[in-house]
A = this chain, B = another copy of it.
Amino acid sequence: MSRVWNFSAGPAVLPEEVLRQAADEMLDWHGSGMGVMEMSHRGKEFTAIAAQAEADLRELLAVPAGYRVLFMQGGAIAENAIIPMNLMGDRRVADYVVTGSWSQKSQKEARKYAEVNIAASSEAGGFTTVPAMAEWRLSADPAYVFTCTNETIGGLEYPFEPDLAQIGRGEVPVVADMSSHILSRVIDVSKYGLIFGGAQKNIGPAGLTIVIVREDLLGRAMPHCPTAFDFKTVADNGSMYNTPPTYGIYIAGLVFQWLKRQGGVAAIEAQNVAKAKLLYDFLDASDFYENRIDPACRSRMNVPFFLKDETLNDAFLAEAKAAGLVQLKGHKSVGGMRASIYNAMPLAGVQALVDFMRDFAARRG
């Protein structure tokens, strides 16, 4: 077996240790005589797996008391509807900060359920920066302010935590789509009303959605919110009102334990800083490649780049693949290339990419 360096934006590379353990336990988890996929979600084996996964996630992110962790389905795109259906309560307006494709999609979906105020947007500049909080124009009484703190497609990451107390609006809950950088850096959960993410980048398989929600935001669902997506119902039933994506929770739990063995979020953040610096420094020193994002707002997770001579794109991708470097094609809405370097991508993978890029430039430049 020869593993490739997989730069997919998601679903994405998982730690080999996790995959090996999952393979080993596929037919028999801990002597139970069953694989995890075959276990009743209400049995003692699986409830222990889910409880451990939640406890480890709470430990990794230092989730304070007063927040609930929910294991849901539907991914971030479904949450774009589920969140306003749950959080609007008796308010009319929700505020959105638009910094790229994902927050754009989120605010469009929210218009089904709320009046949307675009509090800030970097669209005019082609989504290459994150508007400073001093520029955000919040409405008078929004139900929440929505942010996407890492834009997977554009390759843009908030260089600050959106702490509304800094602009005198600490009473408004901040919602953050952290799908593509959750667990990649230390955050202060207490600054947020709700954090959510699809699992298929830094956590595990597609089909699992993590929601971390402050308890006072539960119990406001609109009448037409499906019961299975009412946060209060999900919370009251320990994420088992409907059958949860059990195998995804198990794999997420293995990833959380792997992350703890790496030293936790602060330790992986240091590795992520080093990985991103290696790639961005190479890009900045090159006259063959370029990254077009405001350096202060570059994503550590998703690194889009362009060959200055785009007629070489196909050759670049073909030769990269032949060298064992795959999924480097940029999103169709952006073009060029994109290397996603999530937690499970080791520094050696980024080094292999830089080495290939240097060699390609030397031969083709």
Q: Interface of chain A, helix or strand or loop or mixed? A: loop
Choose from B206, B228, B248 the contact partner of A41 (Cβ within 8 Å): B206
| Shortest CB distance A52–B (Å) | 18
| Shortest CB distance A21–B (Å) | 10
In the complex, A16 has a CB within 8 A of chain B: yes
Within 8 A of B (CB), among A23-80: 23-24, 26-28, 32-35, 37-41, 43, 73-78, 80
1/0 per residue A71-99: CB within 8 Å of B? 00111111011100100000000000000
Choose from B11, B23, B34 the contact partner of A38 (Cβ within 8 Å): B11
**Are A19 and B27 interface neighbours, CB within 8 A?**
yes
**Are A75 and B205 interface neighbours, CB within 8 A?**
no
Set of chain B residues within 8 Å of A208, measured between Cβ atoms: 207
**Are A327 and B43 interface neighbours, CB within 8 A?**
yes
**Are A242 and B78 interface neighbours, CB within 8 A?**
yes
Choose from B34, B77, B81 the contact partner of A4 (Cβ within 8 Å): B34
**Are A35 and B8 interface neighbours, CB within 8 A?**
no
Q: How far apart are the CA atoms of A78 and B229 in the complex, in Å?
A: 8
Of A138-146, A219-227, A302-310, the segment with at least 4 beta carbons within 8 Å of chain B is A219-227
Choose from B81, B207, B229, B327 the contact partner of A40 (Cβ within 8 Å): B327
In the complex, A243 has a CB within 8 A of chain B: yes
Query: Chain A: how many interface residues by the 8 Å CB criterion?
Result: 70
Set of chain B residues within 8 Å of A207, measured between Cβ atoms: 73, 207-208, 243-248
| Shortest CB distance A256–B (Å) | 16
**Are B227 and A77 interface neighbours, CB within 8 A?**
yes
Known A75-B242, A243-B198; judge A27-B23 contact (CB<8 A).
yes
| Shortest CB distance A342–B (Å) | 10
Interface pairs (19), CB distance under 8 Å: A8-B38, A8-B40, A9-B40, A11-B39, A11-B40, A16-B27, A19-B27, A23-B26, A33-B326, A37-B204, A77-B227, A80-B226, A82-B226, A112-B224, A200-B246, A206-B247, A207-B208, A207-B246, A222-B224
